Amino acid sequence: MKTETSAVDIDRNKGNFSYDVAHAYDAGTGLSEKTIHYISDVKEDPDWVREFRLKALKTFLEKPMPTHWASKDLEAIDFDKIRYYLSGGTQAKRTWEEVPEDVKRTFERLGIPEQERKFLAGVEAQFDSEAVYSNIKKAVGEQGVIFVGSTEGLKNHPDIFRKWFGKVIPIGDNKFSALNSAVFSGGSFIYVPPGVKVKHPLQAYFRINAENFGQFERTLIICDEGSELTYMEGCTAPKFNTATLHSAVVELIALKGAKLQYITVQNWSENVFNLVTKRGIAHEDAEVKWIDCNIGSRLTMKYPGVIMKGRKARGEVLSIALANNGQHQDTGAKMIHAADETTSNIISKSISVGTGRATYRGLVNVPKHLKNCKNNTECDALLINSTSRTDTYPAITVRGTGNAVQHEASVSQVSAEQIFYMQQRGLTEAQAMSLSVNGFVNDLVRQFPMEYSVELKRLIELEMEGSVG
Amino acid sequence: MLSRRNASLRQNWKKISAFHAKRGTRGKIDNYSENEAQTVPILTRKSAESAYILGSPFFMNVLSVDNLHVTIADKKIVRGLTLSVPRGEVHAIMGPNGSGKSTLAKVLAGHPDYLVTQGKVTMDGDNLLELDPDERARRGLFLAFQYPSEIPGVTIANFLRAAVQARLPEGEELEATDYYAKLYEKMELLGMDRSFTSRSVNEGFSGGEKKRTEILQLAMLEPKYAVLDETDSGLDIDALKTVAHGVNKMRGPNIGILLITHYQRLLNYIIPDHVHVMVAGSIVRSGRKELALELEERGYDWAREESHEMAVK
């Protein structure tokens, strides 16, 4: 594997380091009402949030693990051994210089300040539980765009925050959304005023630095009527010996005519349980698009969804999952049609390498009373080795007349002849593999913003390099 | 080990020398005595270069197959095949179906399904059999496949770029403008439209398009030795002429070409220096280009009988 990398790329080894950081606030291990009160006290939560958390804790404890349909591996999570809140303080810094030296080191090594200078309209960096740095370019801020950590959003913009918070994904949606609702901290809060088109993407960077830690960020994005936004998130964690938990909740609201694009490139180390709930609501003529790239982690369960609430709303999920040795990528999409003339599109590509396993779960629902709704689903799986595994569970319910649905699925394998052919042209086996894999995802990656498609290509190369001979 | 290799190389040279002396076509060779040859230590590239300076590029600049035996799943396919293709020459191997021609091509390229049970293959003095397929390719061996693989989603431009890049020293980056200039030039030579570069490698290509793409790769990668496996199959006469034109443009002192074909037709357009007839896994007859015509007239049965007679002897 590579040991040296340039500053702006994010690769697995790049994230594989940790520094000892003294945390001023530490909720200790285990989860109880005491933990909730500790978090609420530190964060100076208003009463309604404290109550929301306590209610969520109850729901979390009541709900069984979803192992009747999902992986039994979930049982390996020991909730009593996890640390639920760690921070150096709740105030995010506005200039890079103010960020504490030990934390700054981490992000500089990951290339965050460079990224910001290069092409972002704003960046937020979260270190364990809280945002440590949050900055939005002046011009964008002057347009009335709010981009802060969720703790600050709750404090300084309570009206907008409370109006939308927990509305797209209720506490009891699933066990892990309940867990997040109980102990959430950090994540982004974004509001884009009517008609404002944010030209450059906003980005958040999530970093787990402590062992046995659970990161529970909560992101809430509201695009007001006719506005446009692209948001990108990246995640890393070092390789610890024990499992680490990442359980985020992301809620998106696109009001009439708004366009919201949410891009994730995840590159977790291989012992992270990544159990994330992501959903958006698209009002009339609005569009919510998820671009989701899942690389790394021990188990990822994530099914970004769009509820098309208004007429002519559009929902889209483009996802790529790469399951390497010992990893399970259980991903997919949910499309809920709730108005006439709504259209949704799902394109999912997965690659299984070695003993890796990729699972696609799709839910498409078009009720009887709707007219002229359309869904297109394509899911393609690529198997690299004979030990690789892929499963597809599409659940498509389309009722009524005048609605159209189209579903295509394929499973292919990189053949020995194909690899030999490429080797005969001078490519090593690993190069040949990564070229095949990149070819497989190519038509999808072409739709990604340039910076991310380049990064993704590199990540795939690194994964394939490590998987051959 | 060192001396053994040295000895075998010398032996090899003797064979090559004898091969050409018999024909009396290679003045250069005739001027060398065996003793002179033995005084040249043929071990390293460096010594090869000095041999070149002395006016004899011959020891190293040859793709040499010596008494090669190959099996696949315990079935003997190639039985004691010996052949030398020096750079600057075009050799054709003709043979009926099942004679082991394509197996030879794949073994030279290092296909993992075939087992070499005996014999040697060297390229410019290097033992080819101990190298991985990609290493052979980077050192200058090219195989134009009879049935090229499809690579979905990878464009011809990107694929060839990766292949050209793989030949550069580490840390050196291919200049995009130079690359495309060269690519377009070669495509023009082969009568290919530029839009071709954005199509996925061989995906949905007609037989002719596939073969043309193989020759495009040959032209771009500029190997030292090229093996063309049934490049004429599936081509109509116009496509055949274009492909032959491309190959003829490549001919020169820096490349040795081995054409593998079932029919004489291709050899009307790419005139070989030497023709070998392969039957039942070994070469039964070698000659000048006229041999191809003789073979066309008399058929493979004639060659087969020859082979039988040889076996009886």
Q: How confident is the model at residue A130 (pLDDT cuts 50, 70, 90)?
A: confident
Mean predicted lDDT score pLDDT of chain B: 82
pLDDT at B103 over 80: yes
Q: What is the dihedral of CA A460, A462, A467, A468, to 10 degrees?
A: 110
Q: In this complex, do A438 and B145 lie within 8 Å of one another by their Cβ atoms?
A: no
pLDDT at B19: 43
Top-confidence residue, B60 or B248: B248
Rg (CA), chain B: 20
Report how far apart, in Å, the C-alpha atoms of B90 and of each of B62, B248, B289 are: 12, 10, 10
DSSP code of residue B198: G
Neighbour tally for A214: CB within 10 Å: 26
Q: Are B221 and B174 in contact (CB under 8 A)?
A: no
Domain membership of residue A334 (yes or no) is: yes
- Residue B169: what are its φ and ψ, rounded to 5°? -60, 155
Instruction: Tell me: pLDDT of A137 over 90.
Output: no
Domain limits at A264? 12-467
Radius of gyration, alpha carbons of chain A? 21
B99 with B35, same domain: the answer is: no
- Residue A6 falls within a domain, yes or no? no
pLDDT band at A142 (very low <50, low <70, confident <90, very high): confident
Note whether residue A423 is domain-resident.
Answer: yes
How many degrees, rounded to 5, is the angle at CA A186 between CA A182 and CA A187? 105
Q: What are phi and psi of B21, to 5 degrees?
A: -60, -35
Residue A3 lies in a domain: no
Q: How far, in Å, are A109, A298, A359, A460 from residue A239 at the CA level?
A: 16, 11, 24, 19
CB B127 within 8 A of CB B6: no
- B218 pLDDT more than 50: yes
- Same domain assignment for residues B139 and B150: yes
CATH number of B299's domain: 3.40.50.300
Judgement on whether residues B53 and B169 belong to the same structural domain of the protein? no
What average pLDDT does the segment A437-464 reach?
Answer: 82
Distance, in Å, from the CA atom of A108 to the CA atom of A147, rounded to the nearest integer, reads 21
Q: How far off is chain B from A27, nearest CA to CA, in Å? A: 49
Give the model confidence (pLDDT) of A166-182 as tens digits: 999 999 999 999 999 99
Residue numbers in B near A443 (CB within 8 A): 153
State residue B29's pLDDT score.
36
- pLDDT band at residue B20 under the 50/70/90 scheme: very low
Q: Examine residue A327 and state whether it is found in any structural domain, yes or no.
A: yes
More confident residue, A432 or B32: A432
Residue spans of beta strands (DSSP E) within A61-151? 86-87, 122-127, 130-136, 146-149
Q: Which residues of chain A neighbour B149 with C-beta distances below 8 Å? A: 415, 417-418, 420-422
Residue with the bigger pLDDT between A111 and A426: it is A426
How sure is the predictor about B306, in pLDDT bands with cuts at 50, 70 and 90?
low
Q: Are residues B216 and B272 in the same domain?
A: yes
Amino acid letter, A422: M
Q: What angle do CA B137, A418, B139 make, to 5 degrees?
A: 5
pLDDT at residue A386, rounded to an integer: 87
Q: Which of B34, B60, B86 is the last residue of a domain?
A: B60
DSSP state, residue A210:
S
pLDDT greater than 80 at residue A451: no
Query: How many CA atoms are closer than 13 Å to the CA of B301, on its beta-carbon side?
Result: 2
| Nearest one of A277, A288, A294, A283 to A317, comparing CA atoms | A288
Rounded Cα–Cα distance for residues A37 and B280 (Å): 85
C-alpha pair distances (Å), B168 with each of A216, B10, B80: 47, 32, 36
Once rounded to an integer, what is the mean pLDDT over residues A345-357? 94
Q: What is the pLDDT of residue B30?
A: 35
- Do B5 and B112 lie in a common domain? no
* pLDDT exceeds cutoff 50 at B31: no
| Contacts B152 to A, Cβ<8 Å | 412, 439-440
In the prediction, which pLDDT does A224 show? Answer: 98
- Does one domain contain both B98 and B228? yes
Nearest CA in chain B to A414: B151
Nearest to B166 by CA among A42, A272, A434: A434
CA-based nearest distance A428→chain B, Å = 6
Claim to verify: residue B135 and residue B17 sit in the same structural domain? no
Say how far apart CA B125 and CA A393 lie, in whole Å.
57
d(CA A14, CA B124): 42
Q: What is the rounded CA–CA span in Å between residue A184 and residue A186?
A: 7
Whether the pLDDT of residue B216 is over 90: the answer is yes
Cβ contact A221:A262 at 8 Å: yes
pLDDT value at residue B52: 43
Domain end marker among B60, B83, B105:
B60
**DSSP code per residue over A266-306:** EEE-TTEEEEEEEEEEE-TT-EEEEEEEEEE-SEEEE--EE
Among the ranges given (A152-161, A294-303, B13-22, B171-180), the one the predictor scored with the smallest mean pLDDT: B13-22
Please indicate whether residue B45 or residue B219 has the higher confidence score (pLDDT): B219
Over pLDDT 90: what percentage of chain B? 63
User: What are the structure tokens assigned to B231, written together?
Assistant: 């490049």
pLDDT score of B32 more than 80? no
How many C-beta atoms lie closer than 10 Å to residue B177's C-beta?
Answer: 7
Cβ contact B163–A423 (<8 Å): no
Which of B106, B151, B199 best tests the A interface by mutation, with the highest count of A CBs <10 A? B151
- Residue whose C-alpha is closest to residue B154's, from A325, A388, A460, A289: A460
A422 interfacial to chain B (CB closer than 8 Å): yes
My answer on whether B201 and B300 are in the same domain is yes
The widest CA-to-CA distance across chain A, in whole angstroms, is: 68
Pairs of residues, one from chain A and one from chain B, whose beta carbons lie less than 8 Å apart:
80
pLDDT of residue B15: 45
Q: Which member of B145, B150, B153 has the closest CB to residue A442? A: B153
Whether A17 is in a domain gets the answer yes
ipTM passes above 0.85: no
For residue A14, name the pLDDT band (cuts at 50, 70, 90). Answer: low
**Based on the domain organization, do B173 and B279 belong to the same domain?**
yes
pLDDT of residue B48: 40
Instruction: Say how many C-beta atoms besides its own lie within 10 A of residue A287's C-beta.
Output: 22
- Can you tell me the distance from the alpha carbon of A318 to that of A382, in angstroms, rounded to the nearest whole number? 16
The total number of structural domains that make up chain A: 1
Q: Annotate A81-92 with three-state secondary structure.
A: HCECCEECCCCC
Q: Is the pLDDT of residue B259 over 50?
A: yes
Checking if the pLDDT of B301 tops 70, the result is yes
Q: How many CA atoms lie within 13 A of A148 on its CB side?
A: 18
What is the average pLDDT across B123-136? 96
Cα-Cα-Cα-Cα dihedral sign, residues B283, B288, B293, B298: negative
Angle between helices B176-189 and B207-221 (to 10 degrees): 130
Closest B-chain CA to A435: B154
Q: What is the pLDDT of residue A268?
A: 82
Quote the tokens at residue B285.
């007859």
Q: Count Cα neighbours of A221 within 13 Å in the Cβ-side half-sphere.
A: 32
**Are B7 and B105 in the same domain?**
no
| Residue A424 predicted with pLDDT over 90 | yes
Q: What is the pLDDT of residue A340?
A: 97
Show which of B11, B31, B60 is a domain's final residue: B60
Say if B221 is an interface residue toward chain A (CB within 8 Å): yes
Does residue B79 belong to the interface with chain A, where contact is any CB pair within 8 Å? no
Q: Which of B111, B131, B134 to mutate to test the interface with A (most CBs of A within 10 A)?
A: B134
Domain that holds residue B1: 1-60
Encoded amino acid at A41, one letter: D
Q: How many domains does chain B have?
A: 2
- The highest-confidence range among A94-98, A264-268, A310-314, by mean pLDDT, is A310-314
Q: At what angle are helices A33-43 and A175-183 packed, to 10 degrees?
A: 50
Minimal CA separation from B225 to chain A, in Å = 13
The CB density around residue B243, as the number of other CB atoms within 10 Å, is 27
By the 8 A CB rule, do A326 and A357 touch? no
Q: Which amino acid is at A2?
A: K
Lowest mean pLDDT among A230-239, A390-399, B246-255: A230-239
Query: Quick one: B150 and B297 in the same domain?
Result: yes
Q: Does the pLDDT at position A5 exceed 70?
A: no
Confidence grade of residue A116 (pLDDT, cut at 50, 70, 90): low
Going by their DSSP bridges, the two strands A404-413 and B200-201 should be labelled as unpaired
**Considering only A43-52, A186-195, A453-462, B191-200, which range has the smallest mean pLDDT?**
A453-462
pLDDT tens sequence across B133-157:
999 999 999 999 999 999 999 999 9
The predicted model gives A83-102 an average pLDDT of: 75
Whether residue A425 lies within 8 A of chain B, CB to CB, comes out as: yes
What percent of chain A has pLDDT above 70? 88
In terms of domains, do B257 and B295 share one? Answer: yes
